[in-house]
Amino acid sequence: MEQIVILDFGSQYTQVIARRIRECKVYCLIKPFNTPASEIAAMEPKGIILSGGPASVYAPNAPKPDPGIFNLKVPMLGICYGLQLLAESLGGKVEPGTRREYGKGTLRIQDAESPLFQSLEKEIQVWNSHGDKMTQLPAGFKTVAVTDNSDYAAVEDRQRGFYGLQFHPEVAHTPRGQQILSNFVHKICGCSDSWTMQAYRQMAIEQIRAQVGKEHVILGLSGGVDSSVAAVLLHEAIGDQLTCIFVNNGLLRANEGDSVRDLFCRNFKIKLHYEDATDIFLSRLAGVTEPEKKRMIIGNTFIEVFEEAQKKVGNAKFLAQGTLYPDVIESVPIAGNPASMIKSHHNVGGLPEKMKFELVEPFRCLFKDEVRELGKELGLSREVVWRQPFPGPGLAVRILGEITRDRLEILRNADSVVVEEMKRSEWYYKIWQSFAVLLPVRSVGVMGDERTYDYTIALRAVESRDGMTADWVKLPYDLLERISNRIINEVKGVNRVCLDISSKPPATIEWE
């Protein structure tokens, strides 16, 4: 399979580069900056991209790649720190800039024949983020574009296939950056448009069959996007060798259990074991108000219930999980970069460590948006593919204070109104998350001619790319009015609705 290798030097945008390359319908992998050249050569990449990073190439402990990568005779693109690294490694010179160049700039293309800039205007907007600058080109290189603050904003050694950009083409603030990256992977590296979800679907099915053979697989089905798409893909690959286990912890949204059984049992004909553990979960949560203790009880109980359910469905050698690519990317810590860390892949409830399964992880190389595309390819509905994230502990993190059946019923009914109105207005599919929170606050109200003393619902709606940061959404007033009126009129026990207008940080998306 054709692929591009991205070497990560600690940039906060490395994953964004990968997403942009995938959007060019070209497969790519992120590898640590110090990956041996021999390992990269064995992958037979069509091209290599050197990411940005927080370090200075002339610093004593600056991250450097295996020098052998410059002899692999494959096209190479350096971005920001990657450009400076390319220059410094090949005989050029990089020094501290007289002033930091940060934010928008205008790139003036001086060589329209450069394959990087084909189909682009002579001047384009770009986004910079650097303090150092190249002051001397390596032998064989020439300048192909400049900015007001850089005579070497884009350079190339076309004969050897080396290219460098001082700006960031991967970010949205460089509107034509996608075309630049497309030119690199298609025109320079010669990649075809082979990375599609249709092609991946067939490849994944073959890999699953080869790994599983005639053994049985179980999958913890939550009804969320990742587990739902995984269930349909695995069933297409191995049929009745797959059994899904759906645990109802009593903390689900209204009619969630019935909806999951309707979709997977009746529609897709997938074997599904339904375990109703509502009484167990709620009895253990009785009287508990501390958020972290709630989470621990729910997590530990889930493992216990899942173990018992697994015994009922029979022996299985494999456990399937919806682990995504961002969860398995390894980043080598780089001094001075707070974003650098080892990203360990997250297991569902810690099940594999406790239950001795071999793992089937068909999405280990996919981003979330690619899983959604695969879901559409597999025939899943819009409601499933574009479902908003729902927390593992369920409504427990949206009820502040003690979890009771009465409070759950109030929140379920309020939540149903929010989801229904958000979908009706199409806002549900435009934002990251929208939901109701039940506050342990009761206030006086008047309904009809009677005095009430009921609970308060907080409405939370946020926009985000990955859940790491988020901003509250300015929903239309008429939509907010409909939601508020319906909750107060239709949900017994609520007489007040408030809007949460805090961002993350300093607040979190969920309330607990």
**CA dihedral over 147, 153, 157, 161, signed as positive or negative:** negative
Hey, is 4 helix, strand or coil?
Answer: strand
Which residue among the candidates 130, 168, 186, 235 is catalytic per the annotation?
A: 168
Nearest-angstrom CA–CA distance, 341 and 331: 6
Residue whose structure tokens are 């607040």: 507
**CA dihedral over 12, 18, 21, 25, signed as positive or negative:** negative
Structure tokens at 32: 């640590």
Structure tokens at 309: 């359910």
**Is 498 one of the catalytic residues?**
no
Which residue among the candidates 2, 88, 156, 170 is catalytic per the annotation?
A: 170
**Is 512 one of the catalytic residues?**
no
Which residue among the candidates 2, 24, 28, 80 is catalytic per the annotation?
A: 80
**Is 168 one of the catalytic residues?**
yes
Look at strands 471-472 and 450-463 and give their pairing.
antiparallel
The helix (H) or strand (E) run that includes residue 383 is helix 382-385
Cis peptide before 506 (omega within 30 of 0): yes
**CA dihedral over 402, 405, 407, 409, signed as positive or negative:** positive
Q: Classify burial at 389, counting beta carbons within 10 Å of its beta carbon; exposed 0-12, middle 13-18, buried 19 or more.
A: middle
Nearest-angstrom CA–CA distance, 397 and 252: 11
- Which residues are within 8 A (CB) of 66 and not within 5 positions of it... i.e. 6 or more apart? 34, 35, 36, 37, 40
**CA dihedral over 460, 465, 466, 468, signed as positive or negative:** negative
Tell me how crowded residue 337 is: count the other CB atoms within 10 A of its CB: 17
Nearest-angstrom CA–CA distance, 360 and 305: 21
Closest by Cα among 451, 374, 439, 433 to 411? 439
Closest by Cα among 23, 28, 9 to 177? 23
Nearest-angstrom CA–CA distance, 306 and 432: 29
Q: How far apart are the first and last CA of the chain?
A: 44
Hey, is 360 helix, strand or coil?
Answer: strand
To 10 degrees, the CA torsion angle through 304, 221, 389, 494? -70
Nearest-angstrom CA–CA distance, 98 and 106: 19
Contact yes or no for 246/272 (Cβ under 8 A)? yes
Q: Spell out where 166-269 has E strands.
A: 217-220, 242-248
Nearest-angstrom CA–CA distance, 225 and 370: 11
Q: What residues act catalytically?
A: 80, 168, 170
